Copies of this chain bind each other. A is one copy, B any other.
Amino acid sequence: MQITLKDIARMAGVAESTVSRALNDKPGVGQETKAKILKLAQKYNYRPNQLARGLAVNKTNMIAVILAEMDSPGNIEIVKNIEKAAEEVDYQIILCNTNNDLKKEKSYLSLLEANQVDGAIFIGGKLVSSQLLRLSFEEKNPMVLVNRLAEENFFTSVLTNYSQGIYKAVEHLFEQGFRKIALICGDKDNLTESEKINGYYQAYTEAGFSVNEDLIFSTGADRTSGYNAFLEIMNRDIIPDAFISTRELTTIGLVEAIKFGGYFIPDDFAVVGYGDNILTSVIDPPLTVLNEPAAELAKLSFDFLLKLIKDKLEGQQIKVLTPELIVRESSIAKYN
């Protein structure tokens, strides 16, 4: 147990307020009493409760980063970049993984409610809950959303333009001569995934091609889902000539399934994956990927948060960034 102000007061035989005045170098305490108190404080290694101090000045120099998916290397990349930005101004981050579970998120919100952190950045995740709304607006807790949507976006946010990203990927595959592009994506009900599907439709429509809905395959976000998606699509009436995978782990599973089937990339199927990270970089052949600008997402979101904490942000800010298409061997037509 840590020694408290109360303990010191008891040992010195004075009131708690006297101890507080002595330790804070305020007038009203006799020389001798002060010396006695300071000696006791030193002897028992007394430190004022940092938490209570945090409450008083409303500053802990800690922020919470609330992460919907720890399995995503892209999210980890954003976290590391937030950490870097925070370090520069002497802030530290504590990381909370919700696994996309709103109940877990709610428990972590107690960190904000109790002022254990000065603010929070949310990375990814489901639609904003009413609790988040309340914490942000009624109680003015500083918070910034990264790649997360609200029904009506009242939050300061940094977003990736997913629709434009997939549009770019489809456009690139069209240029390479591919026309039957399968899209391995998430559920339409998921706002970010429906954005991606929109980008796909838009690219087809603008190019004057019609979309074959059998080529759109909504499935889970894990590796096995990507693997199985390939097998199931191959059983449909239309055989694709290219694949776009809209998430990191499905990309890994998709490539595995193609190779395991004895097919070659890009000879048999072109592939555009998601996320430029150590995982996708290990894949052979070198993979064309859509990549979120992690460093920029991180920097902007932390800067916004810091301004919110310091009461220096005017109104709500929204910044939308475009993913980059990094073209490598996996999407280049061999004989075009």
Report A's interface with B, CB cutoff 8 A: 1-2, 45, 47, 49-52, 54-55, 64, 70, 76, 79-80, 83, 92-97, 104, 107-108, 110-111, 113-116, 134, 138-140, 223, 249, 252, 256, 259, 278-279, 282-284
The distance in angstroms between the C-alpha atoms of A252 and B94, with both chains bound, is 29
Q: A278-B279, A283-B282 are in contact. Are A110 and B45 (CB under 8 A)?
A: no
Residue contact B116 to A104, C-beta cutoff 8 Å? no
State the CA gap A83–B279 with chains docked (Å): 23
Compute how far the CA of A231 lies from the CA of B259 in the bound complex, rounded to whole angstroms.
Answer: 29
Given A51-B114, A115-B51, A139-B2, A282:B97 Cβ within 8 A: no
* Given A113-B50, A282-B283, also A95-B92 (CB < 8 A): no
Q: Is the CB of A252 within 8 A of B278?
A: yes
Query: Apart from A2-B139, A94-B96, A252-B282, what 20 extra A-B contacts exist at CB < 8 Å?
Result: A1-B139, A1-B140, A47-B113, A49-B114, A49-B115, A50-B110, A51-B51, A51-B114, A51-B115, A52-B52, A52-B114, A64-B94, A94-B94, A94-B108, A94-B111, A95-B95, A95-B96, A249-B278, A279-B282, A284-B284
Asked whether A51 lies within 8 Å of B47 as measured between CB atoms, the reply is no
Chosen A-B contacts, 22 in total, with CB atoms closer than 8 Å, are A2-B115, A45-B138, A49-B114, A50-B110, A50-B113, A51-B51, A51-B114, A51-B115, A51-B116, A64-B94, A70-B76, A70-B80, A92-B104, A94-B96, A94-B108, A95-B96, A95-B97, A116-B116, A252-B278, A259-B284, A279-B279, A279-B282
Most chain B CB within 10 A, of A50, A134, A282, is at A282
Taking CB atoms, residues of chain B closer than 8 Å to A51 are 51, 55, 114-116
Pair B50/A114 contact, Cβ less than 8 Å: yes
A53 nearest in chain B by CB position: B114
Chain B residues whose C-beta falls within 8 Å of the C-beta of A93 in the assembled complex: 97
Closest to A139 in B: B2
Q: Does the CB pair A92–B107 fall under 8 Å?
A: yes
Chain B residues contacting A108 (CB-CB under 8 Å) are: 92, 94
Residue of B nearest to A48 (CB): B114
Determine the chain B residues whose CB is within 8 A of the CB of A92 once the complex forms: 96, 104, 107-108
Contacting A55 at CB < 8 Å: which of B52, B107, B110, B115? B52
